[in-house]
Amino acid sequence: MSDANVRRYPGFNLFSLLFFVYLYLPIAVVIFYSFNANRIVANWGGFSLHWYTTALSNTALMDAVKTSLLVASIATMVSTVVALMAALVLVRGREVRFRRVSETVVNLPLLLPEIVVAVAVLILFSQLGLTNGLLKLTIAHTTFCIPFAFLPIRARLQGMDADLEEAARDLYASSWVAFRRVTLPLILPGVFAGAMLAFVISMDDFITSSLLNSGGATTLPVYIFSLIKQGVSPQLNAISTLIMIVSVALATVAFLLQRRQ
């Protein structure tokens, strides 16, 4: 049977074009009107970078950005280390008991709706009497970032030839030396990809951050939502455009590194 080319199906090209227009046209509109000089979003008043300047000089916005960056950085580092250790145990530890159960537990935040995880974390912190908003955000973000960092690292470990580690051990290298000199350099693209995915997920999170939001711990998505309540403005479009640029750049780097042979 000859291979069928889906591009020859009747209407497939048109359907694909309509799909991408439907998907990306709203994003293009947001980016376009972020350069609008008019304060009214729907009325084009000429090209201007005024709203980018206004957004970057907004003190409350910059505080929200700093909070998001701090929480995302800490959550990324901790979740990547935990995901790396979990991947080493579950992939290399063939004799580990309940491997499948342990792997399910690691990936559980992906299987459950985020609102369920957020409410559970909120109740837990209330029972423990934890009131520090920044600490609550960091712990919660670390929890749901672990599976996003775990999956690329596990995939990289599964694709790595275990004979290389055994060769290092045959040459009298200790477990730590074999990991540092052989395993880690080979899986480093997967580790970096997992870290970037965790960072992007943490920066973009809204549900958990909204439920755990308290004074002095407002993240960027929560702050943007508060601006929407006041009405859509070109400043909001400028903020959204900057976030999209950073998120797409980080996600692209992570994707390219994950596919690197």
Please give the distance of CA 39 from its chain centroid, rounded to a whole number: 32
What's the pLDDT at 84? Answer: 92
Q: Is residue 200 part of a domain?
A: yes
Give the CATH number, domain containing residue 229: 1.10.3720.10
pLDDT on residue 6: 59
* pTM recorded for the entire structure: 0.78
pLDDT tens sequence across 205-244 = 888 888 888 766 888 888 888 877 777 777 788 888 887 8
Q: Which of 91-100, 144-153, 207-216 has the lowest mean pLDDT?
A: 91-100
Q: What is the pLDDT of residue 55?
A: 81
- Condensed to tens digits (0 to 9), the pLDDT of residues 34-55 reads 888 777 766 777 788 888 888 8
Does the residue 10 lie in any domain?
no
Q: Would 19 be classed as within a structural domain?
A: no
Please give the residue that has the higher pLDDT: either 81 or 129.
Answer: 81
- Mean pLDDT is lowest, of 2-6, 14-18, 187-191, 233-237, for 2-6
Percent of the chain scored above 90 by pLDDT? 10
By residue range, what is the domain housing residue 109? 50-259
Mean pLDDT for the chain overall: 82
Across 137-145, average pLDDT = 91
User: Does 185 reside within a domain?
Assistant: yes
Asked whether the beta carbons of 135 and 143 are under 8 A apart, the reply is no
Q: Which pLDDT band, with edges at 50, 70 and 90, does 1 fall under?
A: very low
Give the residue, 3 or 208, on which the prediction is more confident. Answer: 208
Is residue 152 one of the residues assigned to a domain?
Answer: yes
Tokens of 138: 């960091």
In this predicted structure, what is the pLDDT of residue 8? 67
Q: Which residue has the tokens 């600490």?
A: 135
Domain assignment of residue 13, yes or no: no
Q: What is the pLDDT of residue 258?
A: 62
Say how many domains are in the chain. Answer: 1
Please give the full DSSP string across 170-229, using - where no structure is assigned: HTT--HHHHIIIIIHHHHHHHHHHHHHHHHHHHHH--HHHHHT--TT---HHHHHHHHHH
- 125 located within any domain: yes
Residue corresponding to tokens 């009107």: 33
Q: Is 43 within a domain?
A: no
